């Protein structure tokens, strides 16, 4: 087998961390992890702290990487202004690809991680199940800018590209606050500490609508499949766990797991309602001897608020990936309960 060298951006984040671990587990990759903070993952790989927003720093830190065969771009930077969000995230991709393409003649593939916001599901009800070739919504949407640039850049080149579009990526990670699993668990733990039953905090329609999620380990496996399967070249793919849930069916299971009474759904503007609960979390940490993660490190409440206020079906079609050979799937209910237990066993949750 010929030598393959992967460059993983955003390696200290949720998706990047699982991708790094999957590549390590495969055992036949040389790996370069690029992130500002070194991933908390043991193993044989090289870490480089580079500012992908800075073209000069990119060239300085990454300009000697002449053996990169696969770029896995899963980096993301938050900006409040939509135009700045587009410019920043496009800049990350452009600076990285231009740097690597210039110095690595063995480049075979560039993978770009997007999300189901491609379909406009963050704006309101949309066509479901969403398929990869559905019409775009009115921009701005930085995914469009990134993919358009990547497709144009690749034309006539020997390397190929691929794109993944997951939804609600879940995993065991404290490297970033956009983790739905941990948000639900912290909300439940704080509710229990305050003597409250567990109630769904979103809109009534969201409690009964269809929803989907993506296990980060399954996503990592799919990303590497796209990067190495010739049939997947120059295409985009939806990737989810492959099943559908309704929160009304899972919330009773969550209440059982946390030893709480289940209450009817009760709308809560969770971003503002949970903003002042840091002292409650600190009390929980001290009482149960948990690892001392700061409240702000654990959850960014704007993300679960958006999830729980989506009072319409969120469904992506998985047929394209299935037809081309990616058949992995798992049970989303089992995923949540397994991850809650993992957080508890690692003293992140009481």
Contacts of residue 200, defined as CB under 8 A and 6 or more positions apart, other chains included, come to 206, 207, 247, 248, 251, 265, 266, 308
Cα 324 to Cα 108, 226, 319: the distances in Å are 20, 10, 9
Return the residue matching tokens 């559905």: 134
CA distance 104 to 68: 6
Structure tokens at 92: 């990350």
Where b means 16+ CB within 10 Å and e means fewer, 134-173 reads eeebeeebbbbbbbeebeebbeeeebbbbbbbbbbbbbbb
Q: What's the Cα-to-Cα distance from 96 to each of 5, 21, 201, 334, rounded to whole Å? A: 15, 22, 40, 37
pLDDT in tens, the chain (350 residues): 678 999 999 999 999 999 999 999 999 999 999 999 999 999 999 999 999 999 999 999 999 999 999 999 999 999 999 999 999 999 999 999 999 999 999 999 999 999 999 999 999 999 999 999 999 999 999 999 999 999 999 999 999 999 999 999 999 876 566 789 999 999 999 999 999 999 999 999 999 999 999 999 999 999 999 999 999 999 999 999 999 999 999 999 999 999 999 999 999 999 999 999 999 999 999 999 999 998 988 888 999 999 999 999 999 999 999 999 999 999 999 999 999 999 999 999 99
Residue 175: what pLDDT?
55
**DSSP secondary structure string for all residues of 193-247:** HTT--B---S-HHHHHS-B--EEHHHHHHHHHHHHH-GGGTTEEEE---S--B-H
Residue 252 CB coordination number (10 Å)? 11
Q: What's the fold here for domain 4-168+214-238? A: Rossmann fold (3.40.50)
Tokens of 149: 């640039």
**In the chain, where does the domain assigned CATH 3.40.50.720 lie?**
4-168+214-238
Between CA 71 and CA 33 the distance in angstroms is 10
List beta partners, residue 33. Answer: 8, 47
- 17 and 220 in contact (C-beta within 8 Å)? no
213, exposed or middle or buried, with CB in 10 Å at 0-12, 13-18, 19+? Answer: buried
Q: Give residue 1's pLDDT.
A: 61
> What does the block give as tokens for 20?
């790094």
Confidence (pLDDT) at 242: 98
CA atoms of 144 and 231, how far apart (whole Å) = 23
Which of 132, 143, 18 has the alpha carbon at shortest distance from 72? 18
């Amino acid at each position: 087998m010929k030598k393959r060298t992967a460059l993983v951006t955003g390696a200290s984040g949720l998706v990047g961390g699982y991708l790094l671990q999957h590549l390590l587990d495969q055992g036949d990759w040389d790996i370069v992890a690029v992130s500002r903070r070194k991933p908390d993952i043991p193993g044989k790989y090289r870490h480089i702290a580079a500012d992908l927003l800075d073209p000069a720093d990119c060239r300085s830190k990454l300009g000697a990487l002449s053996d990169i065969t696969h770029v896995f771009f899963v980096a993301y930077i938050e900006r409040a202004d939509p135009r700045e969000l587009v410019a920043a995230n496009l800049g990350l991709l452009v600076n990285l690809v231009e740097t690597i393409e210039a110095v690595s003649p063995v480049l075979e593939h560039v993978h770009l991680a997007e999300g189901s916001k491609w379909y406009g599901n963050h704006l309101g009800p949309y066509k479901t199940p969403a398929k990869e070739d559905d019409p775009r919504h009115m921009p701005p949407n930085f995914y469009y800018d990134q993919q358009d640039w990547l497709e144009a850049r690749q034309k006539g080149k020997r390397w190929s590209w691929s794109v993944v579009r997951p939804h609600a990526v879940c995993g065991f990670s404290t490297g970033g606050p956009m983790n739905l699993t941990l948000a639900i668990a912290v909300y439940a733990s704080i509710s229990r500490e305050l003597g409250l039953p567990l109630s769904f905090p979103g809109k009534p329609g969201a409690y009964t609508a269809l929803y989907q999620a993506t296990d980060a380990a399954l996503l990592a496996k799919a990303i590497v499949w796209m990067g190495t399967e010739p049939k997947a070249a120059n295409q985009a793919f939806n990737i989810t766990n492959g099943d559908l849930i309704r929160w009304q069916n899972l919330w009773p299971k969550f209440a059982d797991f946390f030893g709480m009474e289940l209450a009817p759904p009760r709308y809560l503007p969770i971003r503002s309602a949970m903003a002042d609960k840091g002292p409650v979390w600190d009390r929980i940490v001290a009482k149960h001897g948990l690892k001392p993660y700061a409240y702000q490190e654990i959850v960014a409440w704007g993300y679960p608020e958006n999830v729980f206020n989506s009072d319409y079906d969120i469904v992506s079609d998985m047929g394209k990936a299935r037809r081309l050979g990616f058949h992995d799937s798992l049970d989303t209910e089992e995923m949540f309960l397994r991850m809650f237990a993992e957080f508890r066993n690692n003293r992140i949750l009481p």
